Amino acid sequence: MNDYVANLDRALNQLPEIKNSGERFKVPEPRLLTEGKTTVLENFANIADILNRNPDHVFKFLLKELGTAGKKDGPRVIFQGKFGFDVVTSAFEQYVKEYVTCSECGRPDTHLLKSDRILTLRCDACGAHRPVKKRQVSSIIKEEALEEGKTYEVRIDAKGRKGDGIAKKDKYTIYVPNGNKGDIIVVKIKKITGNLAFADFIEKKS
C-alpha cells in the first residue's frame, strides 16, 4: 500500500502545472479605417498583445489570409485594398484557431516552440502539444480562379455580422446578401479583391 501511495505521489508530481488566465478569452474587435484604397487596422498592436504572439508572425498571417500587401505603422497596420469588419475578424479567428487555441482543452494559454524546423503549439494549461501544419495548396488539384461576371454554385457556411452569407471556394471567401447558413446557391461574382469576392444571389438549389 505504501508503495502504491509513493508511486501515485511521484506520478502526480510529474504532471504539468495547470495554468490558465482564469478569464474568458476574447479577441478585441478590429478597429478599421478606410483611407483611399487602403484599410488601416488601428488596434493591431493591442490585438497581437492579447493573443500573446509575435506581431510580425500575426502580420504575415493576415497578409496571406487577406491576399494582399501591407506595412506596419507603429501600433497599427495598413493593408492595400478595402477590407470590411467581417473579413478582418474572420482572419483573426482563423489565426486563433491555428496558432493560439489548444486543440485538447480549448484554452488560449499556449506558446509556440520551434525545433528542427517544426513549429509546435504547446499548452500551459493542460500540457498538450501539437505540430502546427502549414496550409498548402495541393500541387495536384489546381485552384479555380473566380472571374467577375461569372456564376458559381457555392454553399453558405456562416453568416457575417451584417447578415451576409459567407461561402468558401478554393482560396476565396465569398460574401452573398440574403444567403442563409447551409444553403447551396448559385451566385454571380460582381467584385473580387485579393482572396475576397462579393456576389449577387441568383437562385437557391433544391
**CATH class for domain 29-100?**
alpha beta
- Any bridge partners for residue 119, and if so which? 114
Chain segment 61-91, per-residue pLDDT in tens: 999 888 889 999 999 999 998 888 888 998 9
Sign of CA dihedral 67, 71, 76, 81: negative
Tell me what pLDDT residue 84 has: 87
Burial 154-176 (b: 16+ CB within 10 A, else e): bebeeebeeebbbbebeebbbbb
Residue extent(s) of CATH 3.30.70.3150 domains in the chain:
29-100
**CATH class for domain 151-204?**
mainly beta
Residue 80 cell numbers, joined: 492595400
Tell me what pLDDT residue 105 has: 86
Chain segment 89-101, per-residue pLDDT in tens: 989 989 998 999 9
Q: Is the pTM of this model over 0.95?
A: no
List the helix and strand counts (H, then E) for the chain.
4, 12
Which has more pLDDT, 50 or 106? 50
Residue extent(s) of CATH 2.40.50.140 domains in the chain:
151-204
- Any bridge partners for residue 154, and if so which? 185
Ranges 3-7, 83-87, 123-127: which has the least confidence: 3-7
